[in-house]
Amino acid sequence: MSVFKSIFPYNQQVIAEYPLMDDHAINTILTDSAKAFTHWSLQSYAHRAGILNNVAAILRKEKEQLATIITNEMGKVLAEAKGEVEKCAVTCEYYAQNAEAFLADEIMEAGYYKSFVAYQPIGAVLAIMPWNFPFWQVFRFAAPTLMAGNTALLKHAPNVTGCSLAIERVFKEAGAPKGVFQSLIIDVPEIEKIISADIVQAATLTGSERAGASMAILAGKHIKKSVLELGGSDALIVLADADIEKAATVAIQSRMQNAGQSCIASKRFIVEQKIQEEFVNQLQLQIQKLKQGDPFNTNITTGPMARIDLAQQLEKQMQNSIKSGATLQLGGEVDGANFNPSLLLNVKKGMATFDEEAFGPVASVITAADEQDAINIANQSNYGLGGSIWTKDVEKGIALARKVNSGAVFINSLVKSDPRLPFGGIKRSGYGRELGRHGILEFVNIKSIAADQ
């Protein structure tokens, strides 16, 4: 029987093995999801909110235990894992409090005696989720999906199967009825069987371009709604009038948190030429404060990458960029999945770390002649997930933000996902939105109802 293995990335120790589900188990899950939808979709918002608030309480009560599972399976430092669990709790509470208002009937004047738009659940939503934020990625789909009255099916990344089962347990202990939230321990070939099932009416995927394209093909084939949150190569634009020390501090925080394994991490530092030397000096000071190693060691700031093959891919991108003319200023050492935080200078379009998503702790500095050149460079990417602009003139920053081709731009702030704001990308970063009111509207039937006397 095939199994998924959980492996501690720091030393490659096997933690656990999980057998894959057979057809009978898969069919049972689909049947349970269909049965659950018939009553869950009719429950009041208050009832569903009670379950979500219970989930939040359990997450906080078991924060240490759940964070340990995260760190064991994908290697992020324990403090970051605890923060991830807390963010999930906050998001559950946010949708528990706001979903009813988000989905209230909307009166539309259209010349009828009465006309309005109703927002209704559609069925089960399949989520194909990645390993880099193994709790947060799930909850930002699950909280709005369940509050809307849908049921949820999770196909998680193989290396975080323990996280997947832990999340399922939390929902059960919170009082979620059988079939409302279920984990699928399946491999890629079984995904089409899930998407094609009648109960499944939508699918959402966070992951690579290749995975997103494959899922979109399946969703289109079976005429199911889909949302894709894919890669990013976010630009951090530093203008000449920026607070350079603050910009550099946040740049390294953004680039190196989660060992650089974040879709919305700032990956391309685009800096006006006149301040580049000062900015690079500040970057080096910040990187030198980092300590890479065992993620359970409280003195460590940066854990390993999640898998050895991911570290090898990043090293290849870095070396290819160096061969193309980039300069390795700091770091570059790789040992298994342990990748030292690294800094590349003189990066240009055509290099791997500019054109591709560099998913790990490598920062690339790109020179811009002026602010318009910086915007042009930012928009040369095939991705469009997030980005930030650093300037003391906030109104100028906002005006420039409108010119950046991405799903979000933050001025003088770390780019992050927030349950109150819609999140998603354009171009090869995907389509659709998660979070905020826009996120909960992705997986409901937006139904027009009109009546005359």
Q: Which residues carry out catalysis?
A: 229, 263
| Tokens encoding 42 | 């009719």
Order the strands of the 444-451 sheet from edge to edge.
106-107, 114-121, 444-451
d(CA 75, CA 347): 29
Strands (E), 324-377: 327-330, 334-335, 338-339, 342-345, 362-368
Q: Report which of 25, 393, 429 is spatially closest to residue 243, judged by C-alpha positions.
A: 393
DSSP string covering 198-257, please?
TTEEEEEEES-HHHHHHHHHHHHHTT-EEEEE----EEEEE-TTS-HHHHHHHHHHHHHG
Under 8 Å between Cβ of 105 and 117: yes
381-418: b (≥16 Cβ within 10 Å) or e: bebbbbbbbbbeeeeebeebbeebbbbbbbbbebbebe
| Tokens encoding 140 | 């930002």
Angle at 114 between CA 113 and CA 119, to 5 degrees: 165
How many residues in the chain?
453
Angle at 145 between CA 142 and CA 149, to 5 degrees: 130
d(CA 187, CA 190): 6
118 CB-contact burial (10 Å; exposed 0-12 / middle 13-18 / buried 19+): middle
| Tokens encoding 386 | 């997030």
Task: Provide the terminal-to-terminal Cα distance of the chain, rounded to the nearest Å.
Answer: 64
The Cα-based distances of 17 to 9, 10, 159, 370 in angstroms read 15, 18, 10, 54
Give, for 49, the enclosing helix (H) or strand (E): helix 45-61
277 CB-contact burial (10 Å; exposed 0-12 / middle 13-18 / buried 19+): exposed
Three-state DSSP class for residue 30:
helix
d(CA 291, CA 299): 8
